[in-house]
Amino acid sequence: MPPRRPPPASAATTRSQAQPVWRSPVPEGHNRWLPQADALAFTQCLGMYENKQFKEGLDTVQHILDKHPNHGESLVMKGIFLCSLDRKPEGYDCVRRGTKNDPGSHIVWHVYALVLRADKNFEEALNCYKKAVDIEKDSLNLLSDMAPLAVHLRKYDDYAQIRLQMLKTQPRVRRNWVNLAVAQFLARQYRAATQTLAYYEDMVRDVPEGDVEMGEVLLFHAQVLEEAGEYERCLDFLGDKSAQIVDRTAYTVQRARLLLKLGRTESALWAWETVLGENPESTEYIKATVQAKGGDCDATTDEARLAASDILSSLSAAHPRSLSIKRLQLSVLPASSPEFRTRAASYILNALSKGVPSAFADVKALYRGEEGRDKARIVGEVVEEFKKGLEDKGAVVTEETGDDDAVESPSTYLWTLYFLASHYSSLSQHSSALSTLSLALSHTPSLPELHTLRARILKRAGDPVGAAQAMEDARLLDGQDRFLNSKAAKYAIRNGEMERAEKTIGLFTRKDAPSPLEDMVEMQCLWFLQEEGDAYAAKEDWGRALRRYHQILDTFQDIEEDQYDFHSYCVRKYTLKAYIECVSCLLPAPVQKHSR
């Protein structure tokens, strides 16, 4: 909202009967000068814009311009009213004329910035805000509008300068200190951020015990010290503020990380084992504990990898229910090690016995890299042995079972076939995959997962018609499953059956929606829009393809706009570490898996 000018003196009531003489803030003859009545009308225009009374505001400002056609501030207000009424070409023309007629007015540049920001032209909007602030240096209204733009454009030095200026304007507002510290951290001004946070912590008094906001500020302070490379100081700080930090997991993890960086392996090992006991499925905790024990899960030499595997074996004994430790050990072990076959057999058999459909999805990452082919061969041989044992005597003999009496349930054989078919399909051995899957279908024809796998195999083999039919068969086995419904629609689109796809997906859209497609657009279902766009492009139906792609771009623009709103919200809620992580990860141009 543009800053208001003080209302004319005639608008205010006074105790005495005598009315003070109204004086314009600019001399008569200046192109910003307005007589008393028109100055009052202009002030009312600002309020009308704030209250979204765009038509009334346009009529009022037009009356002013009829008498003062070159009044720059009125021209820009007319422009923003026209833009708000979806008459943008006229609106931009008025705004540009206004800035040309009165470039020394901060209101003119502020309104221009608002128009540009509404059109997502953030770069130019920020430039206009800078010109406005050059004129009205201490306007909190301008600075608070300008700050989110600077951080959104990743101009962290400008952002830090803006936040410093806001702090100087309102030093008693606690949030301004935190905002400045965050801005300085993003600008890599670590020493300045540390000083700002220290001043803030000294300023805040009588903090209640267990105050979450203060705890988050202290953790952020520790993060600043760690990023600055002051590990010893950070460790001392955490020790001094331990009682005030509420998030004990974050405190313990950061302390353990610092101890490891400082080379205090004994203390670091105790700290990492503590957090690993709380969450033995965390890969980060497992790798750090191995490192504290002198190992390296990312080592490249066989000797170092075997040493890390030995450490993982001891951790697995201490945490026998942790699947992540066992899975990480398969990645660490060299394919040439006999232990890899034993560990792989135990891990995969455990999953197959429990009927875990995602068992292959879990281990297929082993097929990548330099040893991928060797590990894939070993996994295939192991599971083939399972299949043979189950077919011959209904049991699987491994070092863990130790005898021939370990009889498995019939479902183990089913999931073994499912795993093998997935294995062959990933190696592009489609005929072997289909023949193995046929055995599974004859065993249990009513399992949807078998039909979805058949559809994937046929798709990879280059048979879109068969793949679409197989996925439809899977959907018909469970009409209440939304995942199967989405997959059936997706495969139908790839087969060029647009109408059937929209009809299928419409079974799960709102019944009061104008059409299933419109509901998918409203729900921002990117995969559906991209599949349709690609299908239309393959048919050289460029108009419909472009329409789908534009709908995807509109969705990303909405996401970017939502990010803009969070720059103020997150700091206000004191979720500082999460906000810093989010800002650090996000790129100026959004990247999303389905858009590739």
- Domain layout of the chain by residue ranges: 1-137, 335-429, 446-508, 520-596
Q: How many Å apart are CA 270 and CA 105, to the nearest integer?
A: 64
Residue 120 confidence class, pLDDT cut points 50, 70, 90: confident
Q: How many Å apart are CA 473 and CA 475, to the nearest integer?
A: 5
| Tokens (6 digits) for 479 | 């009409």
User: For all residues of the chain together, what is the average pLDDT?
Assistant: 89
| Tokens (6 digits) for 570 | 């997150």
What are the tens digits of pLDDT across the range 319-356?
Answer: 999 999 999 999 999 999 999 999 999 999 999 999 99
Position 587 pLDDT exceeds 70: no
What are the tens digits of pLDDT across the range 59-87?
Answer: 999 999 998 888 999 999 999 999 999 99
For residues 2 and 31, the answer to whether their CB atoms sit within 8 Å is no
Residue 28 confidence class, pLDDT cut points 50, 70, 90: low
Q: How many Å apart are CA 557 and CA 568, to the nearest integer?
A: 19
Q: How far is CA 536 from the centre of its chain?
A: 30
How much is the average pLDDT of 573-596?
65
Percent of the chain residues topping a pLDDT of 70:
91
For residues 256 and 284, the answer to whether their CB atoms sit within 8 Å is no
Dihedral (CA of 65, 71, 75, 76) sign:
negative
- pLDDT for 27 equals 53
Let me know if domain 446-508 sits in CATH 1.10.287: no
Q: How far is CA 379 from the centre of its chain?
A: 35
Residue 180 confidence class, pLDDT cut points 50, 70, 90: very high
Residue 22 confidence class, pLDDT cut points 50, 70, 90: very low
What are the tens digits of pLDDT across the range 357-415?
Answer: 999 999 999 999 889 999 999 999 999 999 998 888 777 766 544 555 566 788 999 99
Position 140 pLDDT exceeds 50: yes
Position 116 pLDDT exceeds 60: yes
Q: What is the CATH number of domain 1-137?
A: 1.25.40.10
CA distances from 477 to 422, 473, 488 (A): 21, 7, 12
For residues 342 and 370, the answer to whether their CB atoms sit within 8 Å is no
Instruction: Give the number of other Cβ atoms within 10 Å of residue 127's Cβ.
Output: 16
User: How much is the pTM?
Assistant: 0.84
Q: Given this chain, do its domains 1-137 and 446-508 carry the same CATH topology?
A: yes
Position 173 pLDDT exceeds 60: yes
